Chains A and B, each alone.
Chain A
Amino acid sequence: AYASPTAAAVVLVCDTVQWCFLSILNNCLIFLPFGYAADIISTVEFNCSGELLATGDKGGRVVIFQREQESKNRLLSRGEYNVYSTFQSHEPEFDYLKSLEIEEKINKIRWLPQQNAAHFLLSANDKTIKLWKISERDKRAEGYNLKDEDGRLRDQFRITTLRVPVLMPMDLMVEASPRRIFANAHTYHINSISVNSDYETYLSADDLRINLWHLEITDRSFNIVDIKPANMEELTEVITAAECHPHQCNVFVYSSSKGTIRLCDMRAAALCDRHSKFFEEPEDPSSRSFFSEIISSISDVKFSHSGRYMMTRDYLSVKVWDLNMENRPVETYQVHEYLRSKLCSLYENDCIFDKFECCWNGSDSAIMTGSYNNFFRMFDRNTRRDITLEASRENSKPRAMLKPRKVCTGGKRKKDEISVDSLDFNKKILHTAWHPKENVIAVAATNNLYIFQDKIN
């Protein structure tokens, strides 16, 4: 059941909430012991309680941060996030059949709901999904009979007494171990994974197919959607994202490169090629161009926590859909409309194919998505206000408040505004995450992770 948010979480964003910079976690610093350069963050995800934050990167590594306990002395702020565990999730592989390299880049991480002391997450690269168990060890046994403290086997003749080993405290050690490997089920590149509300199954989607897995079974998966045409020459549409409904374990949605979303019910048929609902906004004929289809391609789809709405991200906007209304979204937010006149250049340099993600806050009252120049945008659904913020080292000192940014679209540029032509398209924020209960956000800017929280007055 959907838990109603606590009073603290229902805070209006934008004007009311002042975002301040909490910490910056640069992969460079963390991975120095490993001896190689920082990698681009490719996915960010809070766990269900918000206590843990996982990031995946282009090098196949997963770094998990844990929020430190709130100390009674520091009343003005909540805990900071520190590194909890680091492990190599995926390695590069070579597909001998196609003579192609399989990148180790982590495309998605999804946490499983916590059922015991250990934490579980799914991480996926282009081809393989792995279930990782992250567990703590803070005790070790001492006083074994058959072996020494350093592990060497004792000489049998030396054993004269029998003793019971004792558990002694030790420095906390966090171990990550792969528990399941779900492989060989995807011909095309995996773009989404989503854990079902039954906590037993999950789906994985690639460009043309969606598979349903059982968490315990790795050698089999059910194919539930297949849009591959018999003749590949007829291919005009691909799957771009998919997600399970947060409460109805038989319902899932998937979005396409043509800007459509299909909602499917797994009870209807074994193969859900025929959708139950079809969401598409009719095209505005006045704004039609050769780029219309490309910018309508949906890069991310997310259900609201309530399960009543879903949000889609296309190149220029974010749309909120009521699941009961298929013919148009109920809300549309322009992320960076000033790019519409630059589409040709953005097509040329491939930026038009960037896949931005989007996320809801815990109470579904606000949504967030990224843009260029390390800007990210937040929209308050109730007040219809929006804010643009920047994730950059220069603007971020600990506890410093974030200043709203503004892009000048034409005419006179005011002070502190930045003109469209000065935007850095190398600095793109594709991945953001919002704490499930509080106003704490994680923003991935290339290889830096920024964490912001709201300032308590």
Chain B
Amino acid sequence: MFSKGTKRKFSDGGEEISDESLLGARVASSYSLQRQSLLDMSLIKLQLCHMLVEPNLCRSVLIANTVRQIQEEMTHDGSWHMVTEAFCSAGQSPSERLVATEVLCRSREQDAEPKLFSVISYEGCCEEEVVADETLCSVSVSDTVSNVCLAGRMGQCWEKSELSGIERDEEALEDSRLGSGEEEEIDTEDGASTESPKTIGQVFGTFEIKNGSPGPDSALEELFSDVDTSYYDLDTMLTGMQSAPKMGPYDLLDSLAPSHSSPSIVSTPNCRSDLNELDHIMEIIVGS
């Protein structure tokens, strides 16, 4: 955006795109389109902040509040309902899911511009997503890396993730995500309000000092906490990146969706078998 002489291209009408029904629903206005891309962008940012060595709490809170705001508005609109429906739809092909997570796994520096895929559906055919609305402002494509700070942090994060135990936080998130996924029965409508605080909680949960040593069992758990179950994730296998964040935006949105729509959640059964394996290993260690 900030390189000289770059002309912004107008995507020729929100109407054209809306006909292809991005969200599986008939979203007519470009405002909804912009709002959706803002939501996607925010969720990606929240993911990335898990990868930072020292997350900036103020920034995370502000992004989380923005996400909440959008979700509230979309709930009132009724368009949130459509979003969650889209998740449940069987039309989710693995390739789309791959593409969505591939965005995250790809290093920022290689990208000219983060492609604002709507992680919910489309294949990323529309590489230039441009809006020129006053309210949401414009998102334009440029040749140079406009993600100044973000790119910098990403690079730093990839280096530092080797030093710090990022996996431990990721595990904590993974566990809590699985936990909430299994236990909850949520209405689509209520899902937005009850689920999102939990999700937001997962964001802030990592900021807490893990206080004290509760007991021998948890000590054993901690021993195995860096057993990396991500290997079994579909996306990890295909991208070959162990240090990729376990929670892609897709996963985050998964947890927002009603849990009974299991077909789209590929990793859960795999993780369940992993837990059994862990139990088995622990039994051996405990010597029973």
Q: Do chains A and B stick together as partners?
A: yes
Q: Is A159 part of the binding interface, using a Cβ–Cβ cutoff of 8 Å?
A: no
Interface class of chain B by DSSP: helix
Instruction: Find out whether the CB atom of B166 lies under 8 angstroms from the CB atom of A99.
Output: yes
Q: Is B267 part of the binding interface, using a Cβ–Cβ cutoff of 8 Å?
A: no
Contact of B56 among A353, A423, A424, A426 (CB under 8 A): A353
Docked complex: A336-367 residues within 8 A CB-CB of B: 341-345, 347-351, 353
Q: Is B119 part of the binding interface, using a Cβ–Cβ cutoff of 8 Å?
A: no
Interfacial chain B residues near A416, Cβ < 8 Å:
none
Instruction: Find out whether the CB atom of B1 lies under 8 angstroms from the CB atom of A341.
Output: no
1/0 per residue, CB under 8 A from B, across A83-118: the answer is 000000000001001111111000000000000000
Q: Is B197 part of the binding interface, using a Cβ–Cβ cutoff of 8 Å?
A: yes
Interfacial chain A residues near B65, Cβ < 8 Å:
236, 293
Instruction: Find out whether the CB atom of B205 lies under 8 angstroms from the CB atom of A232.
Output: yes
Interfacial chain B residues near A126, Cβ < 8 Å:
54
Docked complex: B171-205 residues within 8 A CB-CB of A: 197-198, 200-201, 204-205
Q: Is A240 part of the binding interface, using a Cβ–Cβ cutoff of 8 Å?
A: yes
Instruction: Find out whether the CB atom of A187 lies under 8 angstroms from the CB atom of B66.
Output: no
Instruction: Find out whether the CB atom of B138 lies under 8 angstroms from the CB atom of A350.
Output: no
Measured between alpha carbons, how far is A349 from B200 in the docked complex, in Å?
22
Interfacial chain A residues near B66, Cβ < 8 Å:
290-291, 293-294
Instruction: Find out whether the CB atom of A101 lies under 8 angstroms from the CB atom of B53.
Output: yes
Interfacial chain B residues near A349, Cβ < 8 Å:
146-150
Interfacial chain A residues near B138, Cβ < 8 Å:
341-342, 344-345
Instruction: Find out whether the CB atom of A207 lies under 8 angstroms from the CB atom of B148.
Output: no
Instruction: Find out whether the CB atom of B148 lies under 8 angstroms from the CB atom of A426.
Output: yes
Instruction: Find out whether the CB atom of B148 lies under 8 angstroms from the CB atom of A351.
Output: yes
Instruction: Find out whether the CB atom of A350 lies under 8 angstroms from the CB atom of B210.
Output: no
Q: Is A422 part of the binding interface, using a Cβ–Cβ cutoff of 8 Å?
A: yes
Contact of B135 among A207, A231, A257, A289 (CB under 8 A): A289
Question: Closest Cβ of chain A: how far from B22's Cβ, in Å?
Answer: 18
Q: Is A305 part of the binding interface, using a Cβ–Cβ cutoff of 8 Å?
A: no
Instruction: Find out whether the CB atom of B149 lies under 8 angstroms from the CB atom of A290.
Output: no
Give the interface size class of chain A: 35 or more
Interfacial chain A residues near B197, Cβ < 8 Å:
233-234
| Interface CB pairs A-B, < 8 A, 8 | A126-B54, A237-B61, A290-B70, A344-B137, A345-B138, A345-B139, A421-B1, A422-B4
Q: A residues touching B (Cβ–Cβ < 8 Å)?
A: 94, 97-103, 126, 187-189, 207-208, 231-238, 240, 257, 289-291, 293-294, 297, 341-345, 347-351, 353, 421-426
1/0 per residue, CB under 8 A from A, across B70-90: the answer is 100000000000000000000
With A99-B169, A348-B146 as contacts: A421 and B4 at CB distance below 8 Å:
yes
Question: Closest Cβ of chain B: how far from A209's Cβ, in Å?
Answer: 12
Instruction: Find out whether the CB atom of B164 lies under 8 angstroms from the CB atom of A99.
Output: yes
Measured between alpha carbons, how far is A100 from B169 in the docked complex, in Å?
10
List 10 other contacts, CB 8 Å, given A208-B57, A238-B57, A291-B66: A189-B54, A207-B57, A232-B204, A232-B207, A238-B58, A344-B34, A348-B41, A349-B148, A353-B58, A353-B149
Interfacial chain B residues near A421, Cβ < 8 Å:
1-2, 4, 6
**9 A-B pairs closest in CB distance:** A233-B201, A99-B165, A344-B137, A350-B149, A232-B204, A207-B57, A233-B197, A353-B59, A345-B1
Instruction: Find out whether the CB atom of A232 lies under 8 angstroms from the CB atom of B135.
Output: no
